Amino acid sequence: MRSWQPFEWIVALRFLREGRMQTAFIVGGVAIGVAVIVFMSELLLGLQGNFIRRVLTGQAHIQLLPPKEAARVLASAPGEIGAATVQPPLQRMRSIDQWPAVRDQLRALADVAVVAPTVSGSALVARGGASRSISIVGVDAADYFRIVPLPDKIVRGEPRLGPGDLLIGSDLGSDLGVSVGDKLVLTAASGAQATLTVAGIFDLGNRGANMRTTFAALHTAQSLMGLPGGATSLEVTVHDVWAAETVAQRITALTGVEADSWIRNNAQFFSSINAQSTANTSIRFFVGLSVAFGIASVLVVSVVQRSREIGILRAMGVTRGRILRVFLVQGSLLGMGGALIGCGLGAGALVLWQKLQRNPDGTPLWLLELHPGLFASAVALAALTGLAAAFAPALRAARLDPVVAIRG
């Protein structure tokens, strides 16, 4: 017996060794439970991360928009009886009032990462005898490209947005028969015209967006849309995408400008994400509960089987506190040992799943990232679960009367 090894650990390890079969079964059960938790949690995190990347790659987290035109009451004719008619007005293209000051306010917020002004509107693009209706978005490339990584989506040309440059989608370019260096004539609804050169062709991964969306320099779009110095929206990204709605409400209260978050604009998607998280939490809870009952049942049997040994230890002067700690140590060891094995099984299952589940082109469905914090929390949770599950059997063992236990 080594002097540095505590008494509780010596007895606990001896009891576990003597019941090797029971120990192996419960460690295996804990390992399977933890492996399921790790596998599903990592899979869900990867799935959510993939969804978020797909949803937010082409849009900002928060968008500030100018106020809409207010409805007006039409005047009634003389002698006309009846309720007044309320007619919604036509929505004119408007700029956010004092948008540079608003932008500076947003950049001062700790939660905000990037703020980019944009001017967007509809136009008609013509080349030869062909014409198409498009949406033109005027941006400041230095800021906007930090929100939407458009340079990564360029398939031909370069992401250059000078005063006379235009970036178009691959489907629009194919439909009009244009390539890099060709010129297009754009006509806005106001009648203003501009001749721009195709500097680059992008692929956003969506046919509708590739057919309709185009990008120009901010000043070019301002002139074409008749909004000199204006901005029809402020695109904002935040450090924590899940806090976008809270930040949007704070921005509205601070600036008085309407702010829409991606959470509000994608309410159904966000609800599905919450449902997935709730389902995963429920699964983890019931798996943890089954692990706790398994450990408790094994230790209850151990107390019954070792009543005589416990009685002898008590007769030799071992305190109830020490007996209690012996079984608590057993529960912790069972939980932690099973958790360590389970983490290895879960990680192996994740690697195998990523190798087997592939897109038709052979690429992974999405990239899985192993989070060390999740593995550490799984081990800690299993150890605590084992400790909690061992408390009732340990208490029972500590309360055994030594005389009765030895006679039994």
Contact 19, 208 (CB under 8 A): no
Q: What is the mean pLDDT of residues 231-250?
A: 91
Of residues 13, 20, 37, the one with CA closest to residue 339: 37
Confidence of residue 275 (pLDDT cuts 50, 70, 90): confident
The per-residue pLDDT for 238 is 93
Task: Answer with the residue of higher pLDDT: 43 or 365.
Answer: 43
CB 221 within 8 A of CB 144: no
Of the listed ranges 11-15, 211-215, 232-236, the least confidently predicted one is: 11-15
For residues 166 and 160, give the distance between their C-alpha atoms in angstroms, rounded to a whole number.
8
Instruction: Return d(Cα 40, Cα 353) in angstroms, integer.
Output: 12
Q: Which band of pLDDT confidence, cut at 50, 70 and 90, is reported for residue 80?
A: low
Angle at 367 between CA 167 and CA 59, to 5 degrees: 35
Alpha carbon distance 180, 201 (integer Å): 7
**pLDDT score at 1:** 42
Q: Give the pLDDT score at 3.
A: 46
Sequence-ordered alpha helix ranges (H) in 230-319 = 244-255, 262-265, 267-305, 307-315
State which of 13-22, 154-163, 264-273, 329-338 shows the largest mean pLDDT: 154-163
d(CA 377, CA 179): 54
**What is the model's pLDDT at position 71?**
53
User: What pLDDT is recorded for position 393?
Assistant: 76
Average pLDDT over residues 225-238: 91
For the chain, counts of helices (H) and of strands (E):
14, 12
Specify the pLDDT at position 406.
66
Q: How many CA atoms lie within 13 A of 212 on its CB side?
A: 9
DSSP 227: -
| pLDDT tens for each residue of 28-58 | 888 888 888 888 888 888 877 777 777 777 7
Report percent pLDDT > 90 for the chain. 22
In this predicted structure, what is the pLDDT of residue 56? 72
Q: Are 386 and 296 in contact (CB under 8 A)?
A: no
Least confident span in 41-50, 95-104, 209-218: 41-50
User: Is the CB of residue 406 less than 8 Å from the CB of residue 312?
Assistant: yes
pLDDT at 248 over 90: yes
Cβ proximity of 399 and 314 under 8 Å = no
Q: What is the pLDDT of residues 165-211, one digit of tens each?
A: 999 999 999 888 888 999 999 998 878 888 999 999 999 878 888 89
**Is the entire prediction scored with pTM above 0.75?**
no
Q: Is 4 a residue whose pLDDT tops 70? A: no
> Is residue 239 exposed (0-12), middle (13-18) or buried (19+ Cβ within 10 Å)?
exposed
The listed range with the strongest mean pLDDT (43-57, 75-89, 239-253, 376-390) is 239-253
- The model's pLDDT over 108-146, given as tens digits with 9 standing for 90+, comes to 999 999 999 999 999 999 877 778 889 999 999 999 999
pLDDT in tens, 261-271: 988 887 777 77
Count of C-beta atoms within a 10 Å radius of residue 241: 15
